[in-house]
């Protein structure tokens, strides 16, 4: 972490330490240090190599279910050996600290990799779904990955339907329950922290404005400015795996 970020880190820690209710929204940047590609990085991002409209859109699945399911299985094989990083663990600690002092904590993630849960975060809202379970397009029945025969694509369900990943594709609505929770928690929190997201995909990108409009203090942790950087109270520029532990360690010190 650049030493010049110290004042911002201290300000973020003070806001989080004094908050009664915290919402954290994460994006692909929080998993980047675990080795999982982000989407919009110009060189290494998935969308630099693949066309999201050809692979991550409901119409693409209807047009070519074999290609789309094959690609999601490939994405899963790339992330299944990845481990949570220090940023994931720091957010799990922040939840523990906040709830231990009677505060409320809500983690909303756009990521589908399950790393927050593996780091110990609980009650995580996966607003863009998960790659770790699939469902039958005919019956809606959910399948764990271990139950699925990936020797052919699209994989078949027990009832002869085809299986799709439980991710939210472009052209699809977010799960209603997750959306309601995201709006409810964001409009009633004291502090909203956005971590590792380009803040360009709706409705996730507008949650911070909803929080700010309801009186919350706002924090952004990112490598670089995003469309929300101009409205936040605190901007911490750095890697999530370094910035979050620095912020949460200061939170702990203040509690001692
Ligand atoms: N630490 C902090 N931020 C990082 C790091 C890091 N180590 N590495 C990258 N970032 C930042 C980038 O600067 C960028 O702002 O993370 C952000 C990643 O942005 P995207 O690749 O657009 O990912 P995300 O914001 O999660 O995308 C939102 O778009 O493609 C859809 O459904 C997909 O959920 C995804 C949604």
Domains of the chain with bracketed CATH: 3-35+84-128+174-255 (3.40.50.1220), 45-81+134-167 (3.30.1600.10)
pTM exceeding the 0.95 threshold for the entire prediction: yes
pLDDT of residue 78: 86
The pLDDT of residue 106 is 98
Comparing 45 with 95, the larger pLDDT belongs to 95
Residue 54 has pLDDT above 90, yes or no: no
- pLDDT of residue 177 exceeding 60, the answer is yes
Residue 47 has pLDDT above 90, yes or no: no
Out of 73, 88, 116, 128, pick the active-site residue.
Answer: 128
How confident is the model at residue 227, as a pLDDT?
97
Tokens of 66: 């074999």
Please report the atom of ligand 1 found closest to the CA of residue 226. 15
Q: How far apart are CA 57 and CA 170, in angstroms?
A: 4
pLDDT greater than 80 at residue 103: yes
Give Cβ neighbours of residue 154 (< 8 Å, ≥ 6 apart): 65, 66, 68, 69, 162, 163, 164
Does the C-beta of 224 come closer than 6 Å to ligand 1? yes
> Bigger pLDDT: 199 or 43?
199
Percent of the chain with pLDDT over 70: 99
Residue 216 clears pLDDT 80, i.e. is over it: yes
Residue 215 pLDDT greater than 80, yes or no? yes
Please report which confidence band the pLDDT of residue 255 belongs to, taking 50, 70 and 90 as the band edges: low
- The pLDDT of residue 256 is above 70: no
CA of 202 to the centre of ligand 1 (A): 13
Closest CA to 195 of 121, 103, 104, 100: 121
The mean pLDDT of 21-38, rounded to a whole number, is 97
Residue with tokens 């490939």: 74
Confirm or reject: Cβ of 109 under 6 Å from ligand 1.
no
pLDDT of residue 1: 77
CA distance 249 to 181: 28
Mean pLDDT to the nearest integer, 205-213: 97
Cα–Cα distance measured from residue 35 to residue 79, given in angstroms and rounded to the nearest whole number:
8
* Omega before residue 227 within 30° of 0, cis: no
Q: Answer yes or no: is the C-beta of 197 below 6 A from any ligand 1 atom.
A: yes
**Cβ-based burial of 4 (10 A; exposed 0-12, middle 13-18, buried ≥19):** exposed
C-alpha 200 to ligand 1 mean position (Å): 9
Based on the residue annotation, tell me whether 128 is a catalytic residue of this protein. yes
Instruction: Give the per-residue pLDDT at 52.
Output: 85
H-type helices in the chain, by residue range?
6-18, 46-49, 52-55, 58-63, 65-79, 86-100, 115-118, 176-186, 207-213, 240-255
Evaluate: CB of 205 within 6 angstroms of ligand 1: no
Specify the DSSP class assigned to residue 102.
Answer: T
Integer angstrom CA distances of residue 149 from 26, 42, 130, 159: 31, 34, 18, 13
Cβ–Cβ < 8 Å for 26, 248: no
Residue range 43-70: average pLDDT? 92
With a 6 A CB cut-off, is 88 part of the ligand 1 pocket?
A: no
Q: At residue 187, does pLDDT exceed 60?
A: yes
Mean pLDDT of 87-105: 97
Look at residue 117 and tell me whether its pLDDT is greater than 90. yes
In order of 6, 87, 128, 201, 255, the CA distances from 246 in angstroms are 9, 10, 28, 28, 15
CA separation for the pair 165, 185 (Å, rounded): 27
């Amino acid at each position: 972490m650049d030493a010049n970020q110290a004042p911002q880190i201290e300000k973020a820690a003070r806001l989080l330490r004094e908050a009664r209710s915290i919402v954290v929204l994460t994006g692909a940047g929080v998993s980047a240090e675990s080795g999982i590609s982000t989407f919009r990085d110009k060189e290494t991002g998935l969308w630099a190599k693949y066309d999201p409209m050809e692979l991550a859109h409901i119409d693409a699945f209807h047009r070519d279910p074999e290609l789309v399911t094959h690609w999601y299985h490939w994405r899963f094989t790339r992330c299944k050996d990845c481990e949570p990083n220090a940023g994931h663990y720091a957010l799990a600690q922040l939840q523990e600290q906040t709830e231990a002092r009677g505060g409320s904590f809500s983690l909303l993630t756009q990521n589908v990799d399950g790393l927050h849960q593996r780091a110990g975060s609980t009650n995580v809202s996966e607003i863009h779904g998960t790659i770790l379970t699939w469902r039958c397009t005919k019956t809606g029945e959910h399948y764990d990955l271990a139950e699925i025969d990936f020797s052919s694509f699209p994989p078949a369900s027990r009832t002869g339907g085809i299986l799709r990943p439980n991710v939210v594709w472009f052209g699809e609505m977010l799960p209603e329950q997750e959306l309601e929770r995201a709006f409810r928690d964001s409009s009633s929190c004291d502090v909203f922290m956005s971590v590792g997201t380009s803040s360009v995909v709706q409705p996730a990108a507008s949650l911070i404005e909803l929080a700010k409009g309801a009186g919350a203090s706002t924090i952004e942790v990112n490598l670089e400015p995003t469309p929300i950087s101009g409205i936040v109270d605190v901007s911490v520029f750095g890697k999530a795996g370094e910035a979050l532990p620095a912020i949460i360690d200061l939170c702990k010190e203040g509690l001692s």
